[in-house]
Amino acid sequence: MNDGVLSVENINKSFGGVHALKDVSMQIRGGEVHCLSGENGSGKSTLIKIISGYYKPDSGKICVDGNEYREMTPAESINHGIQVIYQDFSLFPNLSVMENLSINAEAARGSKIISYKRMRETALRAVEKINLKIDMKAKVADLSVADRQMTAIARALVHDAKVIIMDEATASLTRNEVNCLFKVIHQLKEEGVAIVFVSHKLDEVFEISDSITIFRNGMNVVSCKASEINEERFSYYMTGREIQSTQEKPLVGDSSRIMLETKNLTVEGAFEDVSIQLYKGEIFGIAGQLGSGRTELAMTLFGMADIKSGEILMEGNPIKISSVQKAKQLKIGYVPEDRLTEGLFLEQALVENVAVTHLADLSSKAGFYHKKEAEEETTQWIDTLSISPRNRNNLAQKLSGGNQQKVVLAKWLACNPSILILNGPTVGVDIGAKQDIYDLLNQYASQGMSIIIASDDILEIKKLCNRVAVMKGGKINAFLCGEEVTEQALIEASI
Ligand code: ADP
Ligand code: MG
């Protein structure tokens, strides 16, 4: 045995022909935040499900509290204080917060009589532990994602958890919400709880972790202290390849050619008095947290909002971008933040997704579109963007987040826009795919495309943008340029 509260040794697990975990060992100590990282499909969730008793391992053992198990049942796992918060939180949407927090504990009592008083007390104790301010009567279905997340954490605490495993808990949270979650994690850590934090977002991982384990292809490729690894090494372990940006410094663009300009632009309830200029061949950054107005500004430039006052100029000429149709005519493209609902037809094949925006170009006058051309074009994009798997007939929903985002990008690049606006371009995207997307944007910008990136990912903005407008509370709070674009300056101006 060892000093960890929880460890696994030489775990193997296959699903049919897929060897999902290969001889995996790792150890988790109390009072530490242990980040488990790895690209999609590397085996993280499978290991978690083995620890929670959901799957049986083919071989290996699980050690907890001095006991060794060849396999664990879900009840044993919970009794040892192991709690898992899955990405979908597995809450009951139709029940109230109070019921969600207390129903398991109440059921475990085995009493035939349900005591609402007792349930309320259980629920209150749980929310107090994390100082959660929440309406106990609210239906979970009506909560924000962040509140659902917090409810799931509070529920884990009902059972006096020793180990809390969060499987991609931050995937759908904004930066502000992540900050709140991190506060709670710090507090749990102080109390000696071990946190396993599954994420592949570099900035978050380095901010919160004490230890890091990285999986690749079902193997534990490294377990070490967070201080022993840097971002380059981290990326290397995740992907197995040295990730080198082809573009070391952000592109500067041609300041003598202003492609798009806003003058004192105001959209009621969203932002006011915004004046920015986009140079030809640059990647301009609009930084800012959720609610800062950055998303609304990006959407306005794509014709998705009513302008109250101010104006927009394109290459010096005043224009009206009154609709998405108009924006497309002006050769403006837009990659939305929420690609799952706005950017992709999930139930359609890649070929339809890529071809759909410029179907008109591929259509004959009779209105029927050239299947073969669309197919050839899609295959080309699959190659250019290294979309995997390389099958244009795959449904979009079958792809990982990073590959879905590449499809959305391909769809817009295929229209050959002169201005491309991207909102949160790499949210939920693997590190390898992220770099591919950055390289691609740099490549297009250096060929003369003008690009705007709206993002709350500070590292992303810093990496790509030479000039940045930082928004806060619906206004531009700072303009940063060149050397001024530092993490510190971006954070200070946005909060
Ligand atoms: P991660 O959580 O790191 O994204 P997973 O643990 O979900 O990865 O998946 C690891 C591998 O195991 C993948 O190849 C996945 O397709 C496969 N896999 C996971 N669960 C199952 C299952 N229930 N049936 C078949 N294959 C599975
Ligand atoms: Mg997973």
Q: Are 222 and 44 in contact (CB under 8 A)?
A: no
Q: How confident is the model at residue 418 (pLDDT cuts 50, 70, 90)?
A: very high
pLDDT score of 362 more than 70: no
Percentage helix, strand, coil for the chain under 3-state DSSP, each rounded to 5: 35, 25, 35
Mean pLDDT calculated for residue range 318-328: 93
Q: Are 210 and 181 in contact (CB under 8 A)?
A: no
Calpha distance 13→238 (Å, rounded)? 20
Please give the share of the chain, as a percent, with pLDDT higher than 90. 53
* Structure-block tokens of residue 389: 């798997």
- pLDDT tens digits, one per residue of 164-199: 999 987 777 777 778 888 988 999 999 999 999 998
Mean pLDDT calculated for residue range 140-151: 87
pLDDT score of 342 more than 80: no
pLDDT score of 366 more than 50: no
* Structure-block tokens of residue 174: 């904004």
Q: Check if 45 has its Cβ closer than 6 Å to any atom of ligand 1.
A: yes
Return the number of other C-beta atoms located less than 10 Å from residue 330's C-beta: 18
Calpha distance 456→461 (Å, rounded)? 8
254-494 topology per CATH: Rossmann fold (3.40.50)
For the chain, how big is the Rg over CA atoms in Å?
25
- pLDDT tens digits, one per residue of 257-273: 999 999 999 999 999 99
Mean pLDDT calculated for residue range 231-235: 85
Query: What is the reported pLDDT for 284?
Result: 98
Query: What is the reported pLDDT for 65?
Result: 84
Mean pLDDT calculated for residue range 311-338: 93
What is the 44 CA–ligand 1 centroid distance (Å)? 8
- Show Cβ contacts of residue 382 under 8 Å, excluding neighbours closer than 6 positions: 350, 390, 391, 392, 410
Q: Which residue CA neighbors atom 15 of ligand 1 most closely?
A: 41
Q: In 3D, which of 458, 405, 431, 454 has the Cα closest to residue 201?
A: 431
Q: How confident is the model at residue 1 (pLDDT cuts 50, 70, 90)?
A: very low
Return the number of other C-beta atoms located less than 10 Å from residue 267's C-beta: 21
Q: In 3D, which of 405, 27, 40 has the Cα closest to residue 199?
A: 40
Q: Check if 20 has its Cβ closer than 6 Å to any atom of ligand 1.
A: yes
Q: Check if 43 has its Cβ closer than 6 Å to any atom of ligand 1.
A: yes
Average pLDDT over the chain, rounded to whole? 88
Please give the share of the chain, as a percent, with pLDDT higher than 70. 95
CB neighbour class for 84 (10 Å; exposed up to 12, middle 13-18, buried from 19): buried
pLDDT score of 361 more than 70: no
Q: Which helix (H) or strand (E) holds 360?
A: helix 359-362
Name the residue of 18, 85, 197 whose CB sits within 8 Å of the most ligand 1 atoms, as the mutation to test its pocket: 18
Query: What is the reported pLDDT for 340?
Result: 65
> Phi then psi for 70, rounded to 5 degrees?
-80, -35
First and final CA of the chain: distance in angstroms?
46
Calpha distance 166→36 (Å, rounded)? 10
Q: Of the bound ligands, which one is closest to the alpha carbon of residue 167?
A: 2
Calpha distance 415→406 (Å, rounded)? 14
pLDDT score of 287 more than 90: yes
Q: Running DSSP on this structure, what letter comes out for residue 50?
A: H
Residue intervals of the chain classified under CATH 3.40.50.300 are: 6-239, 254-494
Q: Check if 378 has its Cβ closer than 6 Å to any atom of ligand 1.
A: no
What is the 399 CA–ligand 1 centroid distance (Å)? 13
Q: How many helices (H) and strands (E) does the chain have?
A: 17, 20
The minimum-distance atom of ligand 1 relative to the CA of 167 is 2
Q: Check if 479 has its Cβ closer than 6 Å to any atom of ligand 1.
A: no
Query: What is the reported pLDDT for 3?
Result: 57
b (16+ CB within 10 A) / e for 273-311 = ebebbbbbbbbbbbbbbeebbbbbbbbbbbbbbebeebe
Mean pLDDT calculated for residue range 449-467: 94
**Bridge partners for 68 per DSSP:** 63
The minimum-distance atom of ligand 1 relative to the CA of 55 is 23
Query: What is the reported pLDDT for 399?
Result: 83
* Structure-block tokens of residue 65: 């509290």
Query: What is the reported pLDDT for 269?
Result: 93
Q: Which residue CA neighbors atom 1 of ligand 1 most closely?
A: 41
Calpha distance 404→333 (Å, rounded)? 17
> Phi then psi for 13, rounded to 5 degrees?
-150, 125
Q: Check if 398 has its Cβ closer than 6 Å to any atom of ligand 1.
A: no
Calpha distance 23→272 (Å, rounded)? 57
* C-alpha to C-alpha distances, 428 to 49, 149, 283, nearest whole angstrom: 21, 17, 21
- Show Cβ contacts of residue 113 under 8 Å, excluding neighbours closer than 6 positions: none
Q: Which residue CA neighbors atom 13 of ligand 1 most closely?
A: 41
pLDDT score of 236 more than 90: no
Calpha distance 143→128 (Å, rounded)? 18
Neighbouring residues of the ion ligand 2, judged by CB less than 5 Å? 44-45
Q: Check if 46 has its Cβ closer than 6 Å to any atom of ligand 1.
A: yes
Calpha distance 400→138 (Å, rounded)? 33
Q: Of the bound ligands, which one is closest to the alpha carbon of residue 401?
A: 1
- pLDDT tens digits, one per residue of 205-229: 999 999 999 999 999 999 999 998 8
Return the number of other C-beta atoms located less than 10 Å from residue 442's C-beta: 20
Q: Check if 40 has its Cβ closer than 6 Å to any atom of ligand 1.
A: yes
* Structure-block tokens of residue 289: 């947290």
The packing angle between helices 371-384 and 401-413, to 10°, is: 120
- pLDDT tens digits, one per residue of 432-452: 788 888 999 999 999 999 999
The three-class DSSP label of residue 14 is strand
pLDDT score of 237 more than 70: yes
Residue range 6-239, CATH number: 3.40.50.300
Mean pLDDT calculated for residue range 114-136: 87
Q: Which residue CA neighbors atom 20 of ligand 1 most closely?
A: 46
pLDDT score of 427 more than 90: no
